[in-house]
Amino acid sequence: MLPVDLPDTVRDALLAPLVDHACHGVRRDELTRSRFELLLNEGGSPAPPGTTHFDTPLGAAVRRWCAPVLGLEAHAPPPVYLARRAELGAAEVNRLLLRAAGVSAFLVDTGPEGADLLTAGEMGRDGGAAADEVVRIEQIEQDVAELASGGGSVLDYLAGLGDELTARAARAVALKTALAGRCDLDLDPGRPSRGAVLAAANRRLADPKQPLAEPALARHLLWAAADAARDRGLPLQVQTGMGTGMGAGAGDAGAQPAGPAPLAGFVKALQPAGVPVVLLTCYPYQREAACLAHAFPHVYVDVGLALAHAAAGAARVLAELLELAPFHKQLYGSGCRGLAETCHLGAVYFRCALGAALKARLDAGEWAAADAARVAHMIGSGNARRVYRL
């Protein structure tokens, strides 16, 4: 997996256990081929007739790196891989792949997922690691809205939102949102007016089953989460780039992928409160995210699921993050979701990509080996232990 001629200290640092600071639960149930293929893709649609989602970087990576973990030859054909998966059973497959990732702690977004996903505790147990919960604030809002719509007032709803955020934050290591792109933060990064929030909340309670699409209310929620994070000393994770507005699952027709630059004003407004802001995934705008992590002392960054998806191309993605993001601001997260394969592959390509970047710097005489080892340790686990107080 790693380049052959790295100094031992650097190799050891790369192979040391990771903190996966941003993952989701993986599926506990047996997966048919069609279900497995859907989970290979972020858009949620089957591949066009006559094609397969295995013909993607991620599909090739599953055959290359996950097949051997399940006892197959590398590059096993998809039917062979899926037959072996079925033979072993989902529970064993999850254990094998999560452990192969070499992770010592999972921080698990327990957001809008259902009973067929492993809980944070189960992720830790199956992966031989500690596990903590990251609270998804839009899930809290959804729960509170559905409750309030059964007869509660708007004021009850807003009070409930604050109470629930506080209560859930008390048991979590971070708050998280994928809503930032729907808050019109580039137009107004500040707290919305009370009147705007009340009006939006009224509309919201009329249709609480829908995903939240009121900018003023979404911004209110974001600021309420920032307050809760400040009070508990927790970071706020903000999903950006790939996966925030793309694809059939996006929930509203106008959503489009967007980089983190429009968050600059909000990020700046949070600076006095000292709340760490962790920009997640960010691809293909990882350089914009790196600029913010460079410019603001409280901004952190990862490229998450982009590593497993770019697969053989992951080195370039991570290399771009390394151009401007300070080494004490980068985190490792697999962004895994649904398939335990994505958890393992995130770790594989993170180690490969960082190893390639370090080797290039060592070969060119740019860095000393001790620096390379220290940076590998910081990004792989040290920064996460500091930021999340693990």
Contacts of a copy of itself in 326-345 (CB under 8 A): 326-328
Residues 172-231 within binding reach of a copy of itself (CB under 8 A):
186, 189-190
CA distance 219 to 202: 15
Please select the residue that binds a copy of itself; options are 102, 124, 262, 380, rule is CB under 8 A. Answer: 262
Does 280 sit near a copy of itself (CB under 8 A)? no
Least distance between a copy of itself and beta carbon 75 (Å): 4
Backbone phi and psi for residue 304, each to the nearest 5 degrees, phi listed first: 40, -130
Does 257 sit near a copy of itself (CB under 8 A)? yes
What's the first-to-final CA gap in the chain, in angstroms? 28
Please select the residue that binds a copy of itself; options are 12, 29, 75, 155, rule is CB under 8 A. Answer: 75
- Which residue type is seen at 235? P
Stretch near a copy of itself under the rule CB under 8 A, chosen from 8-16, 104-112, 116-124, 304-312: 304-312
Backbone phi and psi for residue 250, each to the nearest 5 degrees, phi listed first: -75, -25
Strand ranges for the chain from DSSP E: 18-24, 103-109, 130-136, 174-177, 236-240, 277-281, 299-301
Q: Rank residues 5 and 115 by Cβ distance to a copy of itself and give the closer one.
A: 5
Does 45 sit near a copy of itself (CB under 8 A)? yes
Taking CA atoms, 251 is separated from 31, 44, 179, 210, in Å, by 25, 12, 12, 8
Please select the residue that binds a copy of itself; options are 80, 162, 371, 390, rule is CB under 8 A. Answer: 371
Stretch near a copy of itself under the rule CB under 8 A, chosen from 26-34, 53-61, 83-91, 114-122: 53-61
Please select the residue that binds a copy of itself; options are 2, 7, 9, 56, rule is CB under 8 A. Answer: 56
Strand ranges for 126-284 from DSSP E: 130-136, 174-177, 236-240, 277-281
Q: Rank residues 106 and 300 by Cβ distance to a copy of itself and give the closer one.
A: 300
Query: How many chain residues touch a copy of itself (CB under 8 A)?
Result: 83
Please select the residue that binds a copy of itself; options are 67, 212, 264, 282, rule is CB under 8 A. Answer: 264
For 15, other C-beta atoms within 10 Å of its C-beta total 15
Please select the residue that binds a copy of itself; options are 220, 298, 337, 359, rule is CB under 8 A. Answer: 298
In sequence order, the β-bridge partners of residue 301 are 279, 330
DSSP 379: I
Please select the residue that binds a copy of itself; options are 250, 354, 373, 384, rule is CB under 8 A. Answer: 250
Q: Would you say 42 and 242 are in contact if contact means Cβ atoms under 8 Å apart? A: yes
Stretch near a copy of itself under the rule CB under 8 A, chosen from 89-97, 105-113, 149-157, 259-267: 259-267
Does 95 sit near a copy of itself (CB under 8 A)? no
How many CA atoms are closer than 13 Å to the CA of 194, on its beta-carbon side?
A: 2
Q: Rank residues 106 and 266 by Cβ distance to a copy of itself and give the closer one.
A: 266
Residue tagged 């699409």 (tokens): 213
Q: At what angle do helices 154-169 and 194-205 cross, to 10 degrees?
A: 100
Please select the residue that binds a copy of itself; options are 14, 291, 331, 354, rule is CB under 8 A. Answer: 291
Which residues 6+ apart lie within 8 Å of 358 measured at CB? 6, 10, 14, 367, 372, 375, 376
Residues 106-165 within binding reach of a copy of itself (CB under 8 A):
none
Does 7 sit near a copy of itself (CB under 8 A)? no
Q: Rank residues 123 and 218 by Cβ distance to a copy of itself and give the closer one.
A: 218
